Structure 1
Amino acid sequence: MIISNKQIQSVMKVYSEQNNAGKNTKTEKSQPAKGKDQVILSSGVQEFGQVLQRAITISDVRPERVQELSKKIQEGTYKVDSKDIADKMIGRMLVDDLL
């Protein structure tokens, strides 16, 4: 196979054009983007955000339960099962170890 000078020149021209195109792409990427960044949340995420905000504003104190337990303590009828306490303590330790 004989390669002519004209064929070599054609290959060099294509190579040069590709090389210049690559350089232009790099400069375009390095320039800062115009406009503002924008975040669009799905409806599911928006709903979750609303539920989370409501959960944050809800008080952890349940007045009815506090009143009920206070009454039992004053009457001396409040009994705590030691097994339940131990189960909760062990469960909490296991969860803390996993995290």
Structure 2
Amino acid sequence: MIVSGKQVQNIVKVYGDQNKVGPLNKPEKSGSVQRDEFIPSSNAQEFGQFLYSIKNMPEVREDKVKEFSERIASGKYEVNCSSIAEKMLTGF
């Protein structure tokens, strides 16, 4: 295939015309500035509420501590050793 100089010049001209950059059009400044916005999904909001409630739960269940303390103090607390051993061996 033979390529002439005129064909090369035409290609260079077309390529050059496509790559010309004009002046940059800057947007006009207005009084309000558009900002990015994050809107979590309903699942994310629900998870956030769940996480918040868990974080605000006490680490110690005072009602259970009080119940067992009273049972131990009154002598009514009995440990079922066989049940504990069975659970330990079966992995709950």
Where structure 1 has 5 or more consecutive residues not aligned to the other structure, the ranges are 22-33, 92-99
1:71-90 map, 5 Å: 71-76=70-75, 77-79=77-79, 81=81, 83=85, 87=88
How many residues in Structure 1 have an aligned counterpart in Structure 2?
Answer: 75
1:1-99 map, 5 Å: 1-16=1-16, 35-76=34-75, 77-79=77-79, 81=81, 83=85, 87=88
- Mark the structure with the bigger radius of gyration: 2
What is the percent sequence identity of the aligned residues? 39
Q: For each residue in 1:14-34, what CA deviation from the matched residue of structure 2 results, as whole angstroms up to 9, or x when unmatched?
A: 44456667xxxxxxxxxxxx8
Instruction: Give the structure with the larger helix fraction.
Output: 1
Where structure 2 has 5 or more consecutive residues not aligned to the other structure, the ranges are 22-32
TM-score when scaled to structure 2? 0.53
Segments of 4+ in structure 1 off by > 4 A? 17-21
TM-score when scaled to structure 1? 0.51
